[in-house]
Amino acid sequence: MVIEDTSGETVNLLSLFLFSLVIVSITVYSIYHVQSIDFKNYVDAEIERNGGLTDIAVSNINDYSDQHYLGRFEVSSLSGNDKKPFGGRIDYVVQGEFSILFFDIPDQFVSTHGFAVSQVR
The candidate with the shortest Cα–Cα distance to 90, out of 114, 111, 112, is 114
Residue 63 has pLDDT above 90, yes or no: yes
Residue 85 has pLDDT above 80, yes or no: yes
Question: pLDDT, tens digit, for every residue of 3-51?
Answer: 666 777 888 889 999 898 888 878 887 888 888 889 999 999 999 998 8
How far is it, in rounded angstroms, from Cα 70 to Cα 88?
Answer: 31
What domain count does the chain have? 1
**Range(s) of the domain holding residue 63:** 2-117
Q: What is the mean pLDDT of the chain?
A: 85
pLDDT at 67 (0 to 100):
94
